[in-house]
Structure 1
Amino acid sequence: MLDLTRLRVLVAVAREGSITAAAEALHYAQPSVSHHLARLEAEAGVVLVRRAGRGVVLTEAGRLLVERAEEILGRVEAAQAELAAHAGLRTGRVRLAAFPSALATLVPPAAARLAARHPGVALALTEAEPPEALTALRNGEVDAALVFEHDPDERPGDRRNTTLTPVLQEPLYVVTARAEARGTDLAAYAERSWIAGCERCRARLVEVCVRAGFAPRITFETDDYVAVQALVADGLGVSVLPHLALAAHRNPAVVALRLPGERRRVSFAFYGRPPAPDPVRAFADALRAAVEAGETGEAGGDADGGDADGERGEGTAGARGQLGD
């Protein structure tokens, strides 16, 4: 019988392209990954990977087993969840991966609702940006994920056999020190230094600035939205932040002006096709209820208390779907 842990290792090696990268992704020691692969090949009776330069490539047998392994791991997680559902959700677990601002805003009220309605369902949280969260989902390391994308065509990671349902659309804001606010025309800040976030957020920042007619001079990069606002408050640059980052933390020394037409979509993801396993669905229901009740925080508007384009931000009442259905 093939060992599930070794199947997860093989899937990680296939996705990462090397034993070293797979070890880092799985938080294993490199010799442990090599050992699991060797044992899996012994169990399967065939060669699964071959070395190629500094990486590895799958053999034909390896490619076949990876495809089946992804299905097997997903079904094992589903079976565990179904057993919890059979117990009437008196027990069970939801392992959730989410990006930092979602963990600070969307997750706490949803977790509170889940605990109140299903006290026997345990919730475990992992911080991860969308590509890593979806990888963890496919590897069976988590049961659900909160991810974001800036454009409908953007793919935040491997979405095969994954169901994504919109949670909300959050506006984007140009964030600047109060004394340096010049409206929402980004071209007015073309000569300023810029502060970028994660790799995908940086790409979006560059894109919106290029559309405004200039290439931003990025002098600081940090994923920490608290640090971004502190740098802005001290006059060290201008940045673009999404609603949830500002709802999670708002530095009183900065002005956030909503950029017309700019937003990103936040979605809830689980592996497989609907319906979701009952514990995952229970959390999705709690999340939807928290969003609809407006319990996930407000980002605030510009210095005058309104939004720059004359509308109130969607906040957490944006695009909603039937989460977990």
Structure 2
Amino acid sequence: MDPRRVLIFRTVARAGSISAGARELGWTQPAVSQHLRTLEREVGGALLVRGSGGVDLTEAGRRLLAHADAVAAHLQAAAAELEDLAQLRTGSARLASFPSGSAVIVPRALAALAARAPEVEVGLVEAEPPEATELVRSGAVDLALVFGYQEDPTEEALVAVPLTEDSIRLVLPEGPDPVPGRLLDLADRAWVAGCERCRGHLVLCADRAGFEPRIRHVTDDYVVVQSLVARSLAVAVLPQTALEAFRHPQVRVVDLPELGARSIHVVHRSGIERVPAVAALLAALLQEGAG
């Protein structure tokens, strides 16, 4: 049977007459009568007994009315839940982020979102950009905060929203040595490098400068990187976000234009930004990340 006709029947039954039900629905009486006749054909029997004083329910009508009330209650509950989602009184979103983004950008964004919409829940998982992008593509998360270098391939079939630029800085041990003016001055030093994407950028910058870096240590942990540098075991390059998240007291940071910057952006599947909780999280990331 057609659920719409069941709800029309409920309105008439509760109103007590076809004319009163029609007025409540904002329809004409003949249109309501036609729907009721069609519904009675669908159920195979009479639901209402029409009289001059209104309508009385048959046994079938009384039983159907109980089900119709349950349908109406479920629809009202659904409408209330959807209204809560639309007004950000509830809802959830899932976010993936690279480590230094999780340490610097994400907490600010989540705090701002919590102040505006405290009932919205956000789940965070940490992942490097290739893994985070795959989580978005598979639907495991709604948004991913990722970084990329100019030489990296662009992601197809996903929306990428630019957030900010993240400068790459040279990290050296404290000491009396003069500050290098160019990357080539460090050609004979040992290096500590990070994830595959960052390591590739270091190798590319060194190649442009005219040497191949001697990478002795490999770690994604920017605390470990700076600890190794502080002990004069290597030199390194780190993005500004990593240095904001943690700054070892025994390293010095040098700007070298040759190192450039990486871009930070948010990726998501097309359409997911229309979900209110996801849209609110995206807005918070854009606002706090750009700030």
TM > 0.5 fold call: yes
The answer (yes or no) to whether the contact 1:105–1:247 under 8 Å persists in 2 is yes
Question: Does residue 152 of structure 2 align to residue 154 of structure 1?
Answer: yes
Cα separation, partners in 2 of 1:183 and 1:131, compared to 1, 3 Å: same
Q: CA deviation at 1:84?
A: 7.7
The answer (yes or no) to whether the contact 1:98–1:127 under 8 Å persists in 2 is yes
Q: Per-residue displacement from partner, 1:74-107 (whole Å, max 9, x unpaired)?
A: xxxxxxxx95874421111111000000000000
2:184 corresponds in structure 1 to: 187
The answer (yes or no) to whether the contact 2:142–2:272 under 8 Å persists in 1 is no
2:255 corresponds in structure 1 to: 258
The answer (yes or no) to whether the contact 1:184–1:258 under 8 Å persists in 2 is no
Q: In the aligned structure 2, how far is the partner of 1:137 from the partner of 1:126?
A: 12
Q: Per-residue displacement from partner, 1:134-185 (whole Å, max 9, x unpaired)?
A: 101111110100011110x5236xx333111110001111111022453241
Q: Per-residue displacement from partner, 1:259-278 (whole Å, max 9, x unpaired)?
A: 21500000011111474422
2:8 corresponds in structure 1 to: none
Letter in structure 2 aligned against 1:99:
F
Question: Does residue 215 of structure 2 align to residue 231 of structure 1?
Answer: no
Cα separation, partners in 2 of 1:189 and 1:84, compared to 1, 3 Å: farther
Between 1:193-202 and 1:278-287, the stretch displaced more is 278-287
Matches within 5 A, 1:80-99: 83=82, 86-99=85-98
Unaligned runs of 5+ residues in structure 2 are 1-80
Cα separation, partners in 2 of 1:172 and 1:89, compared to 1, 3 Å: same
1:111 corresponds in structure 2 to: 110
The answer (yes or no) to whether the contact 1:195–1:218 under 8 Å persists in 2 is yes
The answer (yes or no) to whether the contact 2:272–2:278 under 8 Å persists in 1 is no
Q: Per-residue displacement from partner, 1:1-56 (whole Å, max 9, x unpaired)?
A: xxxxxxxxxxxxxxxxxxxxxxxxxxxxxxxxxxxxxxxxxxxxxxxxxxxxxxxx
Cα separation, partners in 2 of 1:146 and 1:170, compared to 1, 3 Å: same
Matches within 5 A, 1:143-292: 143-151=142-150, 154-155=152-153, 159-179=155-175, 180=177, 182-260=179-257, 262-273=260-271, 275-292=273-290
Q: In the aligned structure 1, how far is the partner of 2:268 from the partner of 2:84?
A: 16
The answer (yes or no) to whether the contact 1:96–1:142 under 8 Å persists in 2 is yes
Give the structure-1-normalised TM-score.
Answer: 0.61
Q: In the aligned structure 2, how far is the partner of 1:95 from the partner of 1:127?
A: 11
2:141 corresponds in structure 1 to: 142
1:14 corresponds in structure 2 to: none
The answer (yes or no) to whether the contact 2:85–2:91 under 8 Å persists in 1 is no
Unaligned runs of 5+ residues in structure 1 are 1-81, 295-325
Q: Per-residue displacement from partner, 1:284-321 (whole Å, max 9, x unpaired)?
A: 221222234x4xxxxxxxxxxxxxxxxxxxxxxxxxxx
Question: SS at 2:165's partner residue?
Answer: strand
RMSD: 1.9
Q: Which has the larger radius of gyration?
A: 2
Give structure 1 regions of 4+ aligned residues with deviation exceeding 3 angstroms: 82-87, 273-276
Cα separation, partners in 2 of 1:272 and 1:189, compared to 1, 3 Å: same
The answer (yes or no) to whether the contact 2:195–2:220 under 8 Å persists in 1 is yes
Q: In the aligned structure 2, how far is the partner of 1:212 from the partner of 1:84?
A: 58
Give the structure-2-normalised TM-score.
Answer: 0.68
The answer (yes or no) to whether the contact 2:85–2:277 under 8 Å persists in 1 is no
Q: Pick the structure with more helix per residue.
A: 2
1:312 corresponds in structure 2 to: none
The answer (yes or no) to whether the contact 1:184–1:257 under 8 Å persists in 2 is no
Question: Does residue 132 of structure 2 align to residue 102 of structure 1?
Answer: no
Cα separation, partners in 2 of 1:278 and 1:181, compared to 1, 3 Å: farther
The answer (yes or no) to whether the contact 1:84–1:91 under 8 Å persists in 2 is no
Question: SS at 1:250's partner residue?
Answer: coil
Q: In the aligned structure 2, how far is the partner of 1:84 from the partner of 1:267?
A: 30
Cα separation, partners in 2 of 1:282 and 1:189, compared to 1, 3 Å: same
Once the two structures are aligned, what percentage of the paired residues are identical?
44
Equivalenced residues, count:
209
